[in-house]
Amino acid sequence: MDDVLTLGMDVGSTTSKCLILRSGAEIAAAALIPAGTGTSGPRRALEEALDKAGLKREDVAVVTATGYGRATCPGADHTASELSCHALGAHFLIPEARTVVDIGGQDAKALRLNPEGKLVSFLMNDKCAAGTGRFLEVMARVLEKEVSDLAEMDAQATGVVPISSTCTVFAESEVISQLAKGVSLPELVKGIHMSVAVRTASLVRRLGVTAPVVMTGGVARNAGVVRALEKELDTPIRVPPLAQLAGALGAAIYGWEHVREKR
């Protein structure tokens, strides 16, 4: 049987991810563009991934879109929710995963998988933005840093300046007043990460923590948040190298299963 190529698009609020999968087993190419739904991001991610793999759109059997902007993703054959996709992607990357935590720009999600990797239950954050990627962005802006700098700063911290407010506006003013006091920036960053971790941990605990716990999504690249969450949940967390692409990967797997079922 010839190789079947399926393509997954994960169109988020701030980034677009694309991944091409060969026969549900091997990753042919992937691309990530830091521009989300409503921008040129999705198109550019698609083009870049095809380009990397030396393929044309017609070579791909099916395009599955997921993420916040899945409904308006250009050229998608069908859509799947990001919860199912992150579950599929995490299971592909770490087959023994039982709990998956995905912190995205708008949503935080906790997923429970059965031993076969099937999604059996999930929870999402409530409306307040604390505990999501958006919260980190707001805080990075207050600190005049890039979100990508935060993990490194956290690593330098020897102590922690706790941030107690749950409301983003209050937390912002709390961070500003700590800045005014002249506290150590790395310790403040660590406090911000702990605040995200605490919110996420309560979501995960509501779902029930079953090891191993795997983290996917953009915030998983932030080792500071991961460490803080490990401490809160009192369990090690595994972060696959392709954590940020887990949604796109899941979409590609979703497409592959669709193709296989039709045969």
Partner 1 sequence: MEKPENLLAPFRALCRNPGAQLDKVLAEGKKAVGVLPYFCPEELVYAVGMRPFGLWGAELECASSGRYYPGFICSILHTTLEMGLRGMLDGLSAVMVPTCCDALKSFGPNWKYGVGAIPVIDAAWGQNRKTPAGEEFTRASFRRILGRLAELAGRRASDAALAEAIAVCNENRAALRAFTAAAAAHPEAVSPADRSAVLKAGFFLDRKEHTAMVRALTEALNALPESRWKGLRLVTTGILADSPALLDILGESGFAVMDDQVAQESVLFRRDVPVTEDPALGLARYLGQAEGCSVLYDPGKERGRELVRLARAAKADGVLWVMAKFCDPEEFDLVPVKRMLEDAGIPLLTVEADQQSASYEQARSALEAFAEMLRG
Partner 2 sequence: MNEEKRDAKSVLRALQDRIAQDAWDAKNRGEKVGWCASNFPQEITTAMGIPVVYPENMGAAVGAKGGGRRMCEHAEGLGYSADLCSYARINFSYADWKECPELEIPFPDFLLCCNNICNCMIKWYENLALELDVPLILIDIPHLDGEACDEDRVKYIRAQFDDCIAQLEAITGKRMDYDRLTEVMAVSQRSSRAWLRAVGAMEHVPSPFSGFDIFNNMAVACVGRGTVEAAEAFELLAEEYEALAKEGKSSFKGEEKYRILFEGIACWANLRATYKGLQSRGINLTATVYGPAFSFLYQNLDELMAAYAQVPNCACFEHELELRVHDALKNKVDGAVFHMNRSCKNWSGKLYELERQFRVKTGVPTVIFDGDQSDPRCFSEAQYETRIQALTEIMEANKKEAR
Give the interface with partner 1 as residue ranges (CB under 8 A).
68, 79-84, 106-107, 118-124, 126-127
- Positions 86 through 145 that interact with partner 2 (CB under 8 A): 126
- E strand residue ranges, 80-177: 99-103, 108-113, 119-124
The answer to whether 106 and 13 have CB atoms below 8 angstroms apart is yes
Residue 3 binding target from partner 1, partner 2, none, CB below 5 to 8 Å by type: none
Fill in the amino acid letter for 188: L
Which residues are 103's β-sheet partners? 108
149 touches partner 2 by CB under 8 A: no
Residue 127 binding target from partner 1, partner 2, none, CB below 5 to 8 Å by type: partner 1
Tokens of 196: 């995200």
- If the CB atoms of residues 94 and 123 are measured against partner 1, the closer one turns out to be 123
Residue 76 binding target from partner 2, partner 1, none, CB below 5 to 8 Å by type: none
Residue 92 binding target from partner 2, partner 1, none, CB below 5 to 8 Å by type: none
170 touches partner 2 by CB under 8 A: yes
- Phi, psi (deg, nearest 5) at residue 8: -110, 135
The 3-state DSSP class for residue 99 equals strand
Residues composing the chain: 263
Distance CA 223, CA 225 (A): 6
Residue 174 binding target from partner 1, partner 2, none, CB below 5 to 8 Å by type: partner 2
13 touches partner 2 by CB under 8 A: no
Strand order in the sheet with 62-66: 26-33, 16-22, 5-11, 62-66, 78-79
| List of residues contacting partner 2 (CB under 8 A) | 126, 164-167, 170, 173-174, 176-177, 198, 201-202, 205-206
